[in-house]
Structure 1
Amino acid sequence: MDKLKIKISEQAYNKILNILKNDDQFDCVKFSMESSCCNPKVGIYLDDLNNISNEDKKDTIEDLNIIYPKALTEKVKEVQLVYRNSGFMIKSIPLKESTGCSGKSGSNSGCSGCSSKGSGCSGCHH
């Protein structure tokens, strides 16, 4: 996949633009890819377009510049960003359905590698 599909809610879009407008150190957001036991996790942080590397791609949604690693497009087909309850929430839709940490498919497969909150592995299966 060449390009990441990015969906951003209007509230998240406006909130990010407002943050960037009031901070002269940053002019874009960057998605990062973090290892996870099952599906790739996507993180978000503020960045500067001058920090873009050859390993990054740049995208624009209206007035918002977004950077993400090219490797993200090998694992994730879509990123959804919303703003709720005074915070940003990000969801990544993987290119392929996870087979679970133990190699078995299904929501009841073992996930011993996860850092879970409470019982089970809430982040493994979507």
Structure 2
Amino acid sequence: MGRSGFGAGLQRRAAESPFGKLTQAGRDWANGTLFNTRPDDDATEAAFWGINPALLTATETKGIWESNVPAVHAFLTIDSQFRMTALARGGVLVHGLDYNGARAGLEMAGVAVTPDLWSDIQMIEAGAVGELNRGRMQ
């Protein structure tokens, strides 16, 4: 889940995006698919299911919208700053970003954090926490 290769082959959209796309970026980061951007993924999946790839529309593509790229870059700058608790039965419970550590990391990286950017980072955080904790709180 490192930062290398970010942007290489990522499909981006210029349109404004709903917060759901940011939350999905967090889930994708958590499950290791954020950088799964082989250009043939959609065509390969379509062929597997017997779907004509020409029928795929822009709403069915994967990737990060252009308007979300700054938030994803900022999140990847601080993606090691999560607070976690060891669980007695094994594993960990992820609480979220350590905001003091996140602030320090963003400042040291020279990222100017606006209220809108911070809100976007928190949406990615929410998706990541949900994915990382899936099945642990049942």
Normalised by the length of structure 2, the TM-score is: 0.23
Larger RCO: 1 or 2 (CA < 8 Å, sep 6+):
2
Between structures 1 and 2, the one with greater helix share:
2
Q: Which has the higher strand share?
A: 1
